[in-house]
């Protein structure tokens, strides 16, 4: 399942434009801060409406300005992992994960809770609250919650930013496991050249 994106968005005096055609695996949007990379993720997720263009993932059109197609976010089945994780602070890790699971219709649940916990190595964290987690642990939990929502693809916004070297390695390995073991299409944003080269099957410069 490939990403096919052609997007234009004007935000004040800033023009965000992206053209992405790619195969399976991880497609990396690479460029400096302020280039509009996160805006592209928001447009793919349906959180920001493009002025022109289209969003296609696999054989499905999620947005097309020419034909008027604009699926709401809940119908796009994107697993979005934001840069800050956005875990619910009053819930345990297990409850955060179950929240993602509850968002998925039963027929769309293609991975089980235990499989996600094993894949990401977070079994020892289930009873803890987000405020007690390291940055790397919180990112892995956020990826797990996204997986349990039954996504067709993942959107990852700077998944290793603001982490020390050890925590960056934890998260990079988790992304590699999702890429290699689950074969889930991923659109990933980064400004780090080494991360782009390591994780990406293809790199789109912005």
Render pLDDT for 141-159 as a digit per residue (tens, 0 to 9): 999 999 999 999 999 999 9
With respect to residue 67, please indicate whether it lies within any of the assigned structural domains.
no
CATH number at residue 156: 3.40.50.300
Global pTM value: 0.92
The answer to the question of residue 183 being in a domain is yes
pLDDT reading at 14 higher than 80? no
Beta-sheet strands, E only, within the chain? 3-11, 14-21, 26-30, 52-57, 60-64, 69-70, 78-81, 153-157, 186-190, 202-205
Residue 184 lies in domain: 24-46+73-205
Band of residue 103 on the pLDDT scale cut at 50, 70, 90: confident
pLDDT the model gives residue 55: 97
Q: Is residue 184 part of a domain?
A: yes
Residue 146 lies in a domain: yes
Count of structural domains, the chain = 1
């Amino acid at each position: 399942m490939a990403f096919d994106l052609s997007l234009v968005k004007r935000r004040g005096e800033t023009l965000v434009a992206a053209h992405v055609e790619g195969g399976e695996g991880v497609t990396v949007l690479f460029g400096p801060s302020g280039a509009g990379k996160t805006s592209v993720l928001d447009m793919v997720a349906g959180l920001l409406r493009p002025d022109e263009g289209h969003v296609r993932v696999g054989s499905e059109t999620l947005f097309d300005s020419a034909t008027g197609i604009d699926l709401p976010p809940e119908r796009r089945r994107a697993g979005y992992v934001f840069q800050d994780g956005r875990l619910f602070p009053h819930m345990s890790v297990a409850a955060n994960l179950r929240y993602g699971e509850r968002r998925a219709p039963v027929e769309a649940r293609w991975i089980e809770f235990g499989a996600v916990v094993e894949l990401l190595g977070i079994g020892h964290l289930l009873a803890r609250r987000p405020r007690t987690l390291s940055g790397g642990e919180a990112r892995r939990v956020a990826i797990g919650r996204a997986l349990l929502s039954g996504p067709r693809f993942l959107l990852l916004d700077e998944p290793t930013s603001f982490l020390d070297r050890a925590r960056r390695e934890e998260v990079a390995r988790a992304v590699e496991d999702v890429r290699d073991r689950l074969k889930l299409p991923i659109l990933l944003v980064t400004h780090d050249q080494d991360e782009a080269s390591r994780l990406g099957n293809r790199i789109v410069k912005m």
